[in-house]
Amino acid sequence: MYSYIKGTLEEIEEDKIIVENQDIGYNIFVPGRVMDNLPQIGSVVKIYTYLHVKEDCFWLFGFLNKDEITLFKMMLNVSGIGPKGALGILTVLSPEELCAAVVSENAKAIAKAPGVGNKTAQKLIIELKDKVHLEDLLDQEEGTLYPQNGNDMLSSRKNEAVEALTSLGYSVKEARQAVSMIEITDQMDTEAILKASLKNMAFL
């Protein structure tokens, strides 16, 4: 019904915000990460919204970017995860971190969200692992971290894995150490290298 709402940020409450548009105040539930990135009250905001209808209740859930709302909608299709559970996951994990957790099958990271147990986290991984895309994690920049010589294709994949790890908050040193601990073959693509590297992070 609503793609987004653009208006004045009037109030910030514990788990929701009020955005006024054309003299109408919209109650919008948002994840904690959105709270942390809101402008000052009185500023104009653009919130991507999802309308959840339950019996006689109409709830709006809001996000600052399309990646968040896309993942939110995907999670709603997983049995056992409702809108509040999906909101909780996006509070403890950014879209990039959630994709990484799915790719690396890290149910423990997902289960940190309130109301989400290990079984539900594992079910989410099974449902989403073929739907999230590694390229969403990659932040390509000029230059390389591994020399482009010998096997250029393999070096490129290693660079992409390192860059993906650094975009998740790891240092370049940590990322390179994790990648260097893997026995990489020519058959491994970037996703396989990243998945193995994330598992190695626990040993650094």
Q: 84-112 pLDDT, tens per residue?
A: 999 999 999 888 788 888 888 889 989 99
- Domain boundaries of the chain, sorted by first residue: 4-63, 66-132, 137-203
Confidence label for 122 from pLDDT (cuts 50, 70 and 90): very high
pTM, two decimal places: 0.66
* Burial class of residue 160 in the structure, from the number of CB atoms within 10 Å of its CB (0-12 exposed, 13-18 middle, 19+ buried): buried
Give the pairing of strands 24-29 and 44-54.
unpaired
* Nearest Cα to Cα of residue 164 among 72, 122, 75, 101: 101
Determine if residue 122 is left, alpha or beta; phi over 0 gives left, psi from -120 to 50 gives alpha, anything else beta.
alpha
Cα–Cα distance between 120 and 192 in angstroms, integer?
A: 24
Give the model's confidence band at 1: pLDDT under 50 very low, under 70 low, under 90 confident, else very high.
low
Per the rule left: phi > 0, alpha: psi between -120 and 50, beta: everything else, 63 is beta
Which of the following CATH numbers is that of domain 4-63: 3.40.50.720, 2.40.50.140, 2.120.10.30, 1.20.1250.20? 2.40.50.140
Closest CA to 170 of 188, 150, 189, 145: 145
Distance CA(190)–CA(33), nearest Å, equals 28
Residues 76 and 83 sit within 8 Å (Cβ to Cβ): yes
Long-range pairs, 179-187, Cβ under 8 A, ≥24: 184/154, 184/157, 184/158, 186/151, 186/153, 186/154
CA-based nearest residue to 191, from 134, 109, 121 = 134
Q: Which two tokens stand for residue 123?
A: 């079910």
Report the length, in residues, of the chain. 204
Of 72-86, 127-141, 148-162, highest mean pLDDT: 72-86
Q: May I ask the CATH architecture of the domain 66-132?
A: Orthogonal Bundle (1.10)
Q: What is the pLDDT of residues 170-195, one digit of tens each?
A: 777 788 878 877 877 888 888 888 88
